Amino acid sequence: MTADARLLPVDSESTAALAASGLRYGLVDTTDRAAFAAWDQADSRGFHESRLSEATIDANFANLAYRRTTGVWDDTIPDAAVPVATVSTWVAELTVPGPAIVPAWAVSSVTVAATHRRRGIARALMEGELRTAAAAGVPLAILTASEATIYSRYGYAPATSVATLEVDRRRVAWVGPTPTGRVHFVQAASARSIVEEISARAVSRTPGEIDRWGGRFDQHFGLIAPDSDRGRSIRTARYDDAEGTPQGVVAFRLIEHEPDIVRLEVEHFTAATDDAYAGLWKFLVEHDLVTSIRARHRSIDEPLPLLLADRRAVRWSEVEDFLWVRVLDPIATLESRRYGAAGRLDLEVSDALGFASGRFRLDVAADGTASVTRAPSVPDAARDAGTDAAAADPATLTLTVNQLGAVFLGGIRPTVLAAAGLIAADSPETLALADRLFAAERTPHLSIVF
């Protein structure tokens, strides 16, 4: 597998398709600041954001140069140096049940200019990235979607959900365990110096999380524009365990909406242990002169309400799909994780783009490890060996590659998809087996947008 996505050429099939429409498809030289700046401004425009400041472009240039940065150009337009479409990709480390780490083709910055819609550009970009990832030997692709109706056509499906967590500070009384360590206010630069190591340990605990990059921390801690109003408003704190080892970091802002109505807005929350989780939340919810606390992109299985006397002090809103998964190599993908039970299950997978089609036999041992092999289709087996062989075939799920991605991390149960008519099983027992197999030790959760 090629780990450095920048070394891979753009897909020849997409190149030809776009050239036929008079468009040029290529990679951005991420050592060329001017070329990167034009791409970066196009990316920002595609998401209807403001024009980027030079400081922001400098930060992105420094922090995102490791990515495979791709654009589509129309040489007939007045500002031909600015691409009319963008995409950015890299090989990320995705935590899967086990916990274990699997390489995943992370897809970001997918934009098409409003002037160039309906010309097949998005399809060329998305399918080109999948072909490139598959050729490089990356077993699956992932993304977070700004729109929910686009990516299923390319074989992706939501595998995790997030919610906005809101706490009514006036109803808070802590009844959870007393944290064994201490919380300290620290400068943002000090928090930044330790957060990558803490984050690496935190991310490895939870299926659905991916490894972080420096620019994300700089953004959360207000370090890209430290003298801006937002940068000056951010406070950072560190949690040290009983031995004095840093185990968690939080960044937050206090926003006064009107007199005596103050919201604490969580910008970043990383906890590598359950003790650090409790310690940081106790610190946040016990802030005086605060009426509410708000944190985005939290798990839908958050333990915070159980740590408060009044569980109704915590409310969830904006519950939505978040990490989307697209399987490219079913054998490598399915073998990368541990499973919740022993058993054998055949998966009859259809894939309109052809990457993952076939019948795959999943054999899970008592320790949760799996071996996966290609299996003959049931009709072929029955023709070769008679109906008795077909009757003896393992329990079988029939599903699309989308639904294989949906259940892979354990956040969506096969029985739920079957109830929606998205998965077919040869018996109720097969669905129950699939639920047991794909169950994860922790609720899958991705806590950042990428």
* Residues classed as catalytic: 151, 450
Determine if residue 76 is labeled as part of a ligand binding site: no
**Strand boundaries in 197-312, DSSP class E:** 235-240, 246-258, 261-271, 292-299
Name the pairing type of β-strands 157-158 and 323-327: antiparallel
182, HSE (Cβ side, Cα atoms, 13 Å): 6
Q: How far is CA 322 from CA 162, 213, 262, 268, 298, in A?
A: 6, 19, 29, 17, 11
Cα–Cα distance for residue pair 85/152, rounded to 1 Å: 20
Determine if residue 121 is labeled as part of a ligand binding site: yes
Determine if residue 119 is labeled as part of a ligand binding site: yes
Name the pairing type of β-strands 343-350 and 396-400: parallel
Determine if residue 112 is labeled as part of a ligand binding site: yes
Determine if residue 111 is labeled as part of a ligand binding site: yes
What are all long-range contacts of 227-233, with beta carbons under 8 Å and residues at least 24 apart? none
164 with 30: CB under 8 angstroms? no
Torsion over CA: 420, 449, 68, 35 (sign): positive
Cα–Cα distance for residue pair 147/310, rounded to 1 Å: 36
Residues in the chain: 450
Structure tokens at 430: 């097969």
Determine if residue 199 is labeled as part of a ligand binding site: no
Cα–Cα distance for residue pair 175/276, rounded to 1 Å: 16
103 with 81: CB under 8 angstroms? no
Inter-axis angle of helices 33-46 and 54-63, nearest 10: 110
Determine if residue 230 is labeled as part of a ligand binding site: no
Determine if residue 201 is labeled as part of a ligand binding site: no
Determine if residue 170 is labeled as part of a ligand binding site: no
Name the pairing type of β-strands 396-400 and 370-374: unpaired
What are all long-range contacts of 287-292, with beta carbons under 8 Å and residues at least 24 apart? 287/169, 289/262, 290/169, 290/254, 290/262, 290/263, 290/264, 291/168, 291/169, 291/170, 291/260, 291/261, 291/262, 291/263, 292/166, 292/167, 292/168, 292/169, 292/262, 292/263, 292/264
Determine if residue 123 is labeled as part of a ligand binding site: yes
Cα–Cα distance for residue pair 299/296, rounded to 1 Å: 9
Amino acid at 87: V
Q: How many CB atoms lie within 10 A of CB 338?
A: 17
Q: Which residues, including other chains, have CB under 8 Å from residue 287's CB and lie 6 or more apart?
A: 169, 264, 293
Angle (CA) 446 447 450, round 5°:
80
Structure tokens at 395: 């329990």
Residues forming the annotated binding site?
110-112, 118-123, 146-147
**Residues in the annotated binding site for acetyl-CoA:** 110-112, 118-123, 146-147
